Chain A
């Protein structure tokens, strides 16, 4: 822990020695370090002319406060050894105010839970409750525990320790970067140690999931829908520190969903997916049924359902191969 009262009297070079990550803080906040290495923040601010102070846009006190906060956040992030084993959802009420039809639901690392229910029934609200680590302070009145206990507020408010990563329905990239540059940028923001290895792994895994291959030099904006999704899943599985992954439908096109789930699971994630697709719904260990805003029941996937899943997957592959054939101008014949 470092205090904001002390930070103004430490030389920049000493700060940077002790906390190398402060380099990017000084850079992003427009504090020139080059010539000022032997000065303290106090001395730097005292040396500013009126114009320069105005250009800084922050005063000395605020910069000290921010820097101390930043260093303390990073220290706790880097020493983070706390593991999330499970989350537990305590029931609330549905839209009519009736209590929900389940007793506590515990979800552990490595589990896949699907969430089913009609449009508007409250699937996204449930995902929202988990992301916000609700404590009876959302419309549903649910409580979400982490490792069986009332969670620390950092799960709500810290950007570096987010409980939840979301794979959104709509998967576009907007940055103008190559695949390699993009993942590197992400890795840097996550402060990973062996960045190069991690980048290679993500690109490899992404290519495993995607139908058509891409290279590190491909511009991310020119990836196809399937390739983008594949890269995004690989990146989230491997780089995101969040223990929980929320998925609002993984679309079918151009990506191997089974492998995608398997990848997320080898990375020890808790996976929750809201879906209308029977294949995805049955891939879960359990499924949560939502009606009228409340959890109406929790169903474990039965053996019979698992054999139905095998049939569905066959059907899925059949449709896929017909589609591929049609796209390449062939005339279809019955596949056995």
Chain B
């Protein structure tokens, strides 16, 4: 089985692109399942269900969604193997721009849209910077010039990635994407022993543990302060 992880900011077009890509994979006789990770709420499982795609959903609730992802991905992979999928796709929304649970040697796709503004690429962390493939959506609602500028900015922060413009509504580009995310000879059996591409933040302060009171006296653990000195 192949595992492909999709991440991207909320509403960037992940589900749209994944669904259209699955159509192309199915046309080639491949069976595909999806695992959707989200924070508080998602309807995506219903959308996948309607399209006839087997789906598992995980809501992280009060936990950090990316930590939650890593803690569950092995079980999800086994679910995929049990179901005999050729390709298992995970979809997760990158919520804090800092994290990304990409795994070494597992293809990572970041979906980002043209509407998010030209400075967005440099604000997004490993989710964009360490992806193998960057999909840029919603090119249909901006000009050619904006598409070129945006793609150039993405290329600046991740020159090693394959960058593709895809229309999530019509699926233009999804067939092409499907040909580069599936490797026939790849047979993933387990993720045990594999590593994350980049460590999660080492944050652990009193507020992680449920503290609600504000003030220095209540701040313990890993605390960092803004530099309030005026620079001379």
- The CA of A130 and the CA of B142, in the complex, are separated in Å by 21
Q: Does B54 contact A (CB under 8 A)?
A: no
Q: Does B79 contact A (CB under 8 A)?
A: no
Of the candidates A28, A168, A228, A235, the one whose C-beta lies within 8 Å of that of B157 is A28
Q: Indicate with 1 or 0, residue by residue over B144-161, a CB within 8 angstroms of chain A CB atoms.
A: 111111011111111110
A-B pair count, CB < 8 Å, reads: 120
A70 near B159 with CB under 8 A, answer: yes
Q: How far is the CB of A240 from chain B (nearest CB, A)?
A: 6
Q: Does A185 contact B (CB under 8 A)?
A: yes
B27 near A139 with CB under 8 A, answer: yes
Q: How far is the CB of A62 from chain B (nearest CB, A)?
A: 7
Residues on A with beta carbons closer than 8 Å to the beta carbon of B118:
175, 185
- The CA of A229 and the CA of B143, in the complex, are separated in Å by 9
Q: How far is the CB of B70 from chain A (nearest CB, A)?
A: 17
A57 near B156 with CB under 8 A, answer: no
Residues on A with beta carbons closer than 8 Å to the beta carbon of B130:
58, 62
Residues on B with beta carbons closer than 8 Å to the beta carbon of A185:
118, 149
- The CA of A70 and the CA of B153, in the complex, are separated in Å by 12
Q: Does B42 contact A (CB under 8 A)?
A: no
B141 near A29 with CB under 8 A, answer: no
Residues on A with beta carbons closer than 8 Å to the beta carbon of B14:
none
A159 near B163 with CB under 8 A, answer: yes
Q: How far is the CB of A91 from chain B (nearest CB, A)?
A: 19
B149 near A59 with CB under 8 A, answer: no
Binds A, one of B169-177, B184-192, B212-220: B169-177
- The CA of A92 and the CA of B157, in the complex, are separated in Å by 38
A57 near B129 with CB under 8 A, answer: yes
- The CA of A236 and the CA of B125, in the complex, are separated in Å by 31
Residues on A with beta carbons closer than 8 Å to the beta carbon of B156:
24-25, 28-29, 70
Residues on A with beta carbons closer than 8 Å to the beta carbon of B160:
65-66, 69
Q: How far is the CB of B189 from chain A (nearest CB, A)?
A: 27
Residues on B with beta carbons closer than 8 Å to the beta carbon of A228:
143
Of the candidates B125, B140, B148, B158, the one whose C-beta lies within 8 Å of that of A186 is B148
Nearest opposing residue in chain A for B134, CB measure: A159
Q: Does A54 contact B (CB under 8 A)?
A: yes
A173 near B140 with CB under 8 A, answer: no
**With A28-B153, A70-B156, A159-B151: A57-B162 Cβ-Cβ less than 8 Å:** no
Nearest opposing residue in chain A for B116, CB measure: A174
- The CA of A128 and the CA of B177, in the complex, are separated in Å by 12
Q: How far is the CB of B165 from chain A (nearest CB, A)?
A: 9
Q: Does B193 contact A (CB under 8 A)?
A: no
A58 near B154 with CB under 8 A, answer: no
Residues on B with beta carbons closer than 8 Å to the beta carbon of A57:
98, 125-126, 129, 198
Residues on B with beta carbons closer than 8 Å to the beta carbon of A173:
142-143, 146
Restricting to B84-111, which residues have a CB under 8 Å from any CB of A? Answer: 98
Chain B interface main SS type: helix
- The CA of A328 and the CA of B178, in the complex, are separated in Å by 53
Residues on B with beta carbons closer than 8 Å to the beta carbon of A166:
139, 144, 147
Q: How far is the CB of B198 from chain A (nearest CB, A)?
A: 7
Of the candidates B98, B139, B162, B201, the one whose C-beta lies within 8 Å of that of A168 is B139
- The CA of A29 and the CA of B123, in the complex, are separated in Å by 9
Residues on B with beta carbons closer than 8 Å to the beta carbon of A139:
27, 175
Q: Does A160 contact B (CB under 8 A)?
A: yes
Nearest opposing residue in chain B for A173, CB measure: B143
Nearest opposing residue in chain B for A62, CB measure: B130
- Most chain A CB inside 10 Å of its own CB: which residue of B130, B147, B158, B175: B175
Nearest opposing residue in chain B for A50, CB measure: B202
Q: Does B78 contact A (CB under 8 A)?
A: no
Q: List 22 A-B contacts (CB under 8 A).
A: A50-B202, A51-B224, A54-B201, A54-B202, A57-B129, A62-B129, A69-B159, A70-B155, A73-B159, A128-B175, A128-B176, A137-B179, A138-B176, A139-B27, A157-B163, A159-B154, A159-B163, A166-B147, A173-B143, A232-B143, A232-B144, A239-B145
Residues of A within 8 A of B (CB): 24-25, 28-30, 50-51, 54, 57-59, 62, 65-67, 69-70, 73, 124, 128, 132, 137-139, 157, 159-160, 162, 165-175, 182-183, 185-186, 189-190, 228, 232, 235-236, 239-240
A-B pairs, top 9 by smallest CB distance, nearest first, are: A189-B152, A70-B159, A69-B159, A57-B125, A186-B145, A159-B151, A28-B122, A159-B155, A28-B156
Given contacts A57-B125, A174-B146, 12 further A-B contacts (CB under 8 A): A30-B122, A54-B199, A58-B126, A66-B129, A66-B157, A66-B158, A138-B175, A157-B162, A165-B148, A170-B140, A189-B148, A239-B145
